[in-house]
Amino acid sequence: MVIDTQAAGRLLMGPGPSNAYPESLAAAGRPLIGHLDPVFLAILDDTSAGLRAVMGTDNELTFPISGTGSAGMEAAFVNWVAPGDVVVIGVNGVFGQRMCDVADRLGAEVVKVEHEWGEALSVERMLSAHPAPAIIAAVHAETSTGVLSDVASIGANKGDALFLVDCVTSVGGVPVELDAWGVDIAYSGTQKCLGVAPGLAPFTANERARERMLDRPVSWYLDLNMIEKYVTGEGARAYHHTAPINAIRGLHAGLATILAEGLDAVFERHRSCGGALFDGLMSLGFEPFAQEGNRIPHLTTAYLPEGVDDAKARRTLLEDFGIEVGGGLGPVAGKIWRVSAMGETARAAHVNTGLAAITAVVS
């Protein structure tokens, strides 16, 4: 048995899980009820309503997929991509690359629109990549690079294509207006700005997308034709798979916390805490990695100051200060840090604690 009391008070400033809202953790620890219990179904419906608010959509089919953000990505592709379909995918980091892998496994003709890491997606290149794609896919906030892309301008000019967006690191941290932006299919994750434990993928699809859903996707577990009957209540609330009841209760309470604070206040908290982190890191000699004007406000990506040993410094932060920050991935592994203030981590006291520790470790 691993004893984890020592790790109980970690401050999570990496873009993996952030600290969760206490109300969410408490709700996830409630006694179990059944997945067809009317009380639980009411909680599920209320969770979907909360997700519509944070995702900026009226879509009926809005619910938490059982599985992490990656399950949301898989569901977004597997229910719509048939072999030979042309799928245009913007790649400016790890998660766009993953979309290509998922689409490729489904037999799609993937049209990859590659960008330098640290750059935002080029709207023009995304729209001119193919004359008639079935799907155009983009990552709103690329967690591997710290870049926020302009998905609204892609959505406004998508033509007949379905527009699919990963908003794992944006929902709950910055305004997301899926309906206004012309997004047809989108997914998120619970453990980033929503301040909820990992395990669910908020998901939504509009009527335009639902009309084009495959009748028999290759995944049985993620087949929305079956799952939608349970989540929308159309027809019987029949058993498909057991909903992760307590994970959903945790999300329900997290969303309630966010909506009670007010979305504008929550975004402002992410913006101001993220801004303080950025300024603090720059004053310590870090250099920005993500392109100016396209930075995720709550996630700073920055080159380490000269002479700082990446692995050693992050180990000291974790072991001696109980603080986790993220390292670089792919081409920037060992060179950059990813430091975030998301969910419950986005509090001034946490940011100050984090910066004080980073100062001690890098100077």
Rule CB under 6 A: is residue 294 a binding residue for ligand PLP? Answer: no
Please name the amino acid found at residue 44. Answer: L
As a 3-state breakdown, the chain gives helix, strand, coil percent values, each rounded to 5, of: 40, 15, 45
**At its nearest, how many Å lie between ligand PLP and the CB of residue 189?**
4
Judged by CB under 6 A, the number of residues near ligand PLP is 12
Q: Which is nearer to ligand PLP, 126 or 357 (CB)?
A: 126
Residues 6+ apart with CB under 8 A from 92: 114, 115, 116, 117, 118, 119, 120, 121, 139, 142, 145, 147, 149
Closest contact distance (angstroms) between CB of 211 and ligand PLP is 26
Question: 314 or 338, CB closer to ligand PLP?
Answer: 338
Q: Which stretch binds ligand PLP (CB under 6 A): 64-72, 74-82, 266-274, 333-341?
A: 64-72
139 binds ligand PLP (CB under 6 A): yes
HSE toward the beta carbon, residue 164, CA cutoff 13 A? 29
Indicate the residue among 28 and 139 with the shorter CB distance to ligand PLP: 139
- Which of 88, 168, 183, 332: binder of ligand PLP (CB under 6 A)? 168
Instruction: Name which of 68 and 316 has its Cβ closer to ligand PLP.
Output: 68
For the chain, report the end-to-end CA distance as a whole number of angstroms: 37
Contact (CB, 8 A) for 194 and 255: yes
The reply on whether position 206 binds ligand PLP by CB under 6 A is no
Backbone CA torsion sign across 155, 275, 360, 362? positive
- Closer by beta carbon to ligand PLP, 59 or else 169: 169
Smallest distance, ligand PLP to C-beta of residue 160, A: 26
| Cα 81 from chain centre | 21
CA 363 to chain centre: 33
CB nearer to ligand PLP: pick between 269 and 298: 298
Residue closer to ligand PLP, measured from CB, 182 or 189? 189
Q: How many CB atoms lie within 10 A of CB 68?
A: 16
Site membership for ligand PLP, residue 70 (CB under 6 A): yes
Tell which residue, 278, 334, 306, 3, has the closest CA to residue 146.
278
Examine residue 166 and tell whether it contacts ligand PLP (CB under 6 A).
yes
Q: Interface with ligand PLP includes 228 (CB under 6 A)?
A: no
* Distance of closest approach, residue 225 Cβ to ligand PLP, in angstroms: 23
Residue of 57, 62, 143, 345 interacting with ligand PLP (CB under 6 A): 143
Question: What is the number of the residue whose Cβ is closest to ligand PLP?
Answer: 69
Residue pair 107/83 in contact by the 8 Å Cβ criterion = yes
Q: Which of 152, 177, 198, 285 binds ligand PLP (CB under 6 A)?
A: 198
Name which position in 189, 202, 254, 274 contacts ligand PLP (CB under 6 A). Answer: 189
Distance CA 303, CA 287 (A): 5
Minimum distance of ligand PLP from residue 261's CB (angstroms): 23
CB 340, CB 28: distance < 8 Å: no
Stretch that binds ligand PLP, among 43-51, 68-76, 80-88, 146-154 (CB under 6 A): 68-76
Q: What is the DSSP string of 238-283?
A: --SS---HHHHHHHHHHHHHHHHH-HHHHHHHHHHHHHHHHHHHHH
Q: Note whether 17 binds ligand PLP by CB under 6 A.
A: no
* 217/212 Cα distance (integer angstroms): 12
Closest CB to ligand PLP among residues 139, 231: 139
117 binds ligand PLP (CB under 6 A): no
Point out which span in 48-56, 84-92, 161-169, 253-261 binds ligand PLP (CB under 6 A).
Answer: 161-169
Binding flag, residue 95, ligand PLP (CB under 6 A): yes
Residue 235 CB neighbours (<10 A): 9
Q: What distance in Å separates the CA atoms of residue 85 and residue 132, rounded to the nearest whole number?
A: 10
What residues make contact with ligand PLP under the rule CB under 6 A?
Answer: 68-70, 73, 95, 139, 143, 166, 168-169, 189, 198
